[in-house]
Amino acid sequence: MVRRQRTCPSKSNKNNQKHTSSPSILSLRFLGNNFSSKQMNLAQDNLGVWPESKSFNDEGYGPIPKKWHGTCQTAKGNPDNFHCNRKLIGARYFNKGYLAMPIPIRDPNETFNSARDFDGHGSHTLSTVGGNFVANASVFGNGRGTASGGSPKARVAAYKVCWGDLCHDADILAGFEAAISDGVDVLSVSLGRNFPVEFHNSSISIGSFHAVANNIIVVSGGGNSGPDPSTVSNLEPWTLTVAASTIDRDFTSYVILGNKKILKGKSLSEHELPRHKLYPLISAADAKFDHVSTVEALLCINGSLDSHKAKGKILVCLRGNNGRVKKGVEASRVGAVGMILANDEASGGEIISDAHVLPASHVNFKDGNVILKYVNYTKSPIAYITRVKTQLGVKASPSIAAFSSRGPNILAPSILKPDITAPGVKIIAAYSEALPRSPSESDKRRTPFNIMSGTSMACPHVAGLVALLKSVHPDWSPAVIKSAIMTTATTKDNIGGHLLDSSQEEATPNAYGAGHVRPNLAADPGLVYDLNITDYLNFLCGHGYNNSQLKLFYGRPYTCPKSFNLIDFNYPAIIVPNFKIGQPLNVTRTVTNVGSPSRYRVHIQAPTGFLVSVKPNRLNFKKNGEKREFKVTLTLKKGTTYKTDYVFGKLIWTDGKHQVATPIAIKYPH
């Protein structure tokens, strides 16, 4: 069972999970006539679609490509007026696995027999990957501008495999097989597990392998279980796994304390306090019922607060345990006029803009402590929360989201995961108008667009780019496109500093993979690392798989090579999970020229404490498609000791025009 990212196995019926302006941070410039993607068919495995959204308007589209074999599925007797068009060319739903589950596990209120999105997640991710241009889009006036997907002229299709929070393995596999049969070019899969399972037990691993075998590129979210290590999901080397970053747009709301201190927070609340008036400020713990614990009250758990103590005041609630917006629902229920949401220590500096049901501001851990100290040491503390304003050009951006799941890869330690980072925080995209903006049952607000955060939002950004690259380079394999995206990524932010995490510490490849995606460079990477289905099967052989396990992926017998060294698997990263002291380690890679004839030389940024040599240190290519092999030797310097598990470096091939970057990560043997 996979839960939605939401997160998956295969042979048995188990469940999984779904994972939640970005074009400016990507500096996407190449959406011109030479990069038309109208013949690209993008598909999304998730929670369906709201077909009436303007993001799926088909004005200006010609006939549906003949290669498309999909359908717009509706059940007999279903009154839902679900429809497709020349933009949204297909929609299917899969629920046999879900319906076969025991009744107590199922949500009796779920709507079946329709590909319609009753959750918001499906429409948001599908419009992010391939939504059409929509002018004057906003979320209740915030972030107003033109919304579009990563590949706005592509055709799109929805495969609804999740019902509520559960995505059944049988339904996921059925969705993959239908997408392959229908003729999709790119699959965006915002699904994954909260815990690792072997590849042969994962419906996503098996389904994505079948897709790649049919030349369909699969992009997946890495999960929202960060910042703890080894939490990343979708660990197979044949998929492109995406981490989430912030963008350079904020929705700011300031907290003004009675002592004149002003603290910056974030919010998307459409509500505002009357101006020129300060309100009593208390910790939510001071508004608790007598029988409720201090922790429950501070978290603003439903039913924990006493209206006699909270009415007319601004409450300070602590992040954690229950949903951020739900805390405000509880504060509003007991008559509070506003809420300050303070981060716990684990959330650090990451603050998120939410559509709160009352005036609210989300502040970081440090500022939350300042506010609580003011409350605890002031006789009559007062405060004010300013109205929300959109702020553009935020520096330094991007940074790695705290929730974004981290490596290293717990199943295959020699494979870098995540692979790449893309915008996944405060993303505006289409939404389902079937549900309110908040968890409150009394909330009657509906919106055609919404702001969401998660690796589910980062994943379709990359999937849209993949469609553009495939339209320009139809001969490129899934591995070549993946390599082009990874080797052209950047590890710098918009002020030239190293990418940071939410705690303002330097992030590492275990957080961002190869780096932050750069679409304009990915179209011309110079050199690439290619892989094919035989390579992936050999990887599984090296992973110890037997014939019956391999058959789940390949469908027929496969003879493993007598020996296969996983360290030499031709991945666009060099990861050494078990370096042995006392002997150098040799790693072999092969690159293919996808540009004009050129001569490359190597530049090395060695991991701390290691000597790195490359032979040959120059590669000469006389034609496009030519391959060259090189050997990297890693030697531990004498007397080197470490306080950290991993050290990182980079190997860069350059011809003066291209910079082909390959991350290096070495786990130091304690």
Q: Looking at the predicted structure, is the pLDDT value of residue 60 above 80?
A: yes
Cα–Cα distance for residue pair 241/221, rounded to 1 Å: 6
- Indicate the pTM of the whole model: 0.89
pLDDT at res. 164: 80
Give me the CATH number covering residue 422. Answer: 3.40.50.200
Quick one: 346 and 216 in the same domain?
no
Q: Looking at the predicted structure, is the pLDDT value of residue 75 above 80?
A: no
pLDDT at res. 12: 40
Q: Looking at the predicted structure, is the pLDDT value of residue 35 above 60?
A: no
Q: Looking at the predicted structure, is the pLDDT value of residue 483 above 90?
A: yes
Q: Looking at the predicted structure, is the pLDDT value of residue 5 above 80?
A: no
Quick one: 306 and 422 in the same domain?
no
Quick one: 474 and 414 in the same domain?
yes
Average pLDDT over residues 258-276: 94
Quick one: 550 and 660 in the same domain?
no
Cα–Cα distance for residue pair 488/208, rounded to 1 Å: 24
Quick check: 400 and 512 in contact, CB under 8 A? yes
pLDDT at res. 523: 97
Question: For residue range 538-550, what is the model confidence (pLDDT) as tens digits?
Answer: 999 999 999 999 9
- What crossing angle do the helices spanning 169-182 and 203-213 adopt, rounded to 10°? 10
- Min mean pLDDT across 76-85, 221-230, 257-266, 616-625 is at 76-85
Cα–Cα distance for residue pair 367/319, rounded to 1 Å: 13
CB count within 10 Å of CB 27 equals 12
pLDDT at res. 614: 98
Quick check: 279 and 271 in contact, CB under 8 A? no
pLDDT at res. 34: 37
- Min mean pLDDT across 100-104, 149-153, 303-307, 635-639 is at 100-104
Average pLDDT over residues 34-60: 79
Residue where one domain finishes, among candidates 343, 371, 392: 392
Cα–Cα distance for residue pair 148/130, rounded to 1 Å: 7
Cα–Cα distance for residue pair 611/586, rounded to 1 Å: 12
Average pLDDT over residues 654-667: 98
541 by DSSP, 3-state: which?
helix
pLDDT at res. 663: 99
Give me the CATH number covering residue 663. Answer: 2.60.40.2310
Average pLDDT over residues 467-492: 98
- Min mean pLDDT across 320-329, 367-376, 594-603 is at 320-329
pLDDT at res. 42: 75
Question: For residue range 512-526, what is the model confidence (pLDDT) as tens digits?
Answer: 999 999 999 999 999
How many residues are present in the chain? 670
- Nearest Cα neighbor of 595 from 522, 524, 662 is 524
326 by DSSP, 3-state: which?
helix
Q: To the nearest whole percent, how much of the chain has pLDDT over 70?
A: 91
Average pLDDT over residues 374-400: 95
Helix (H) or strand (E) holding 550: helix 547-554
pLDDT at res. 355: 85
Q: Would you place residue 124 in the very low, low, confident or very high pLDDT band (cuts 50, 70, 90)?
A: very high
Residue 403 is given by DSSP the state T
458 by DSSP, 3-state: which?
helix
Q: Looking at the predicted structure, is the pLDDT value of residue 462 above 90?
A: yes
pLDDT at res. 547: 92
pLDDT at res. 585: 96
- What crossing angle do the helices spanning 203-213 and 547-554 adopt, rounded to 10°? 60
Residues 6+ apart with CB under 8 A from 31: 152, 468
| More reliable by pLDDT, 40 or 256 | 256
Which residue do the tokens 């996407």 mark?
28
Q: Looking at the predicted structure, is the pLDDT value of residue 30 above 50?
A: no
Quick one: 514 and 543 in the same domain?
no
Question: For residue range 143-168, what is the model confidence (pLDDT) as tens digits?
Answer: 899 999 999 999 999 999 998 878 89
Q: Cα 539 vs. chain centroid, distance in angstroms? A: 25
Q: Looking at the predicted structure, is the pLDDT value of residue 140 above 90?
A: no
Quick check: 322 and 300 in contact, CB under 8 A? yes
pLDDT at res. 195: 80
* Range of the structural domain that residue 552 is part of: 532-566
Quick one: 218 and 359 in the same domain?
no
| More reliable by pLDDT, 174 or 346 | 174
Give me the CATH number covering residue 270. Answer: 3.50.30.30
Cα–Cα distance for residue pair 557/560, rounded to 1 Å: 10
Burial, 544: exposed, middle or buried (Cβ in 10 Å; 0-12, 13-18, 19+)? exposed
Quick one: 583 and 559 in the same domain?
no
Amino acid at 110: E
Cα–Cα distance for residue pair 234/203, rounded to 1 Å: 11
Q: Would you place residue 531 in the very low, low, confident or very high pLDDT band (cuts 50, 70, 90)?
A: very high
- What are the start-end ranges of the E strands in 510-658? 527-528, 574-576, 585-593, 598-605, 610-615, 618-621, 627-636, 646-654
Residue where one domain finishes, among candidates 364, 392, 420: 392
- What crossing angle do the helices spanning 533-542 and 547-554 adopt, rounded to 10°? 150
Quick one: 281 and 304 in the same domain?
yes
pLDDT at res. 196: 83
pLDDT at res. 363: 98
Helix (H) or strand (E) holding 186: strand 186-189
- Min mean pLDDT across 87-96, 590-599, 642-651 is at 642-651
Structural domains in the chain (count) = 4
- Nearest Cα neighbor of 470 from 460, 482, 453 is 482
Q: Would you place residue 84 in the very low, low, confident or very high pLDDT band (cuts 50, 70, 90)?
A: very high
Q: Cα 94 vs. chain centroid, distance in angstroms? A: 24
pLDDT at res. 74: 81
Residue 234, CA distances (Å) to 129, 194, 430, 654 in order: 19, 10, 25, 31
Q: Cα 474 vs. chain centroid, distance in angstroms? A: 25
Cα–Cα distance for residue pair 333/355, rounded to 1 Å: 16
Quick check: 6 and 17 in contact, CB under 8 A? yes
Q: Looking at the predicted structure, is the pLDDT value of residue 422 above 70?
A: yes
Cα–Cα distance for residue pair 477/37, rounded to 1 Å: 17
Cα–Cα distance for residue pair 86/444, rounded to 1 Å: 32
Question: For residue range 109-123, what is the model confidence (pLDDT) as tens digits?
Answer: 556 688 999 889 999
Q: Looking at the predicted structure, is the pLDDT value of residue 241 above 50?
A: yes
Q: Looking at the predicted structure, is the pLDDT value of residue 104 above 90?
A: no
Residues 6+ apart with CB under 8 A from 506: 498, 499, 500
Quick check: 525 and 483 in contact, CB under 8 A? yes
Quick check: 325 and 438 in contact, CB under 8 A? yes
Residue 175 phi/psi, 5° resolution?
A: -65, -45
Average pLDDT, the chain: 91
Q: To the nearest whole percent, how much of the chain has pLDDT over 90?
A: 77
- DSSP strand pairing (155-160 vs 41-46): parallel
Q: Looking at the predicted structure, is the pLDDT value of residue 99 above 90?
A: no
Give bridge partners of residue 620 from the DSSP assignment.
599
Q: Looking at the predicted structure, is the pLDDT value of residue 630 above 90?
A: yes
Quick one: 88 and 143 in the same domain?
yes
Quick one: 57 and 173 in the same domain?
yes
- Nearest Cα neighbor of 476 from 216, 251, 288 is 216
Quick one: 272 and 191 in the same domain?
no
395 by DSSP, 3-state: which?
coil
Q: Would you place residue 442 in the very low, low, confident or very high pLDDT band (cuts 50, 70, 90)?
A: low
Q: Would you place residue 436 in the very low, low, confident or very high pLDDT band (cuts 50, 70, 90)?
A: confident
Quick one: 399 and 350 in the same domain?
no
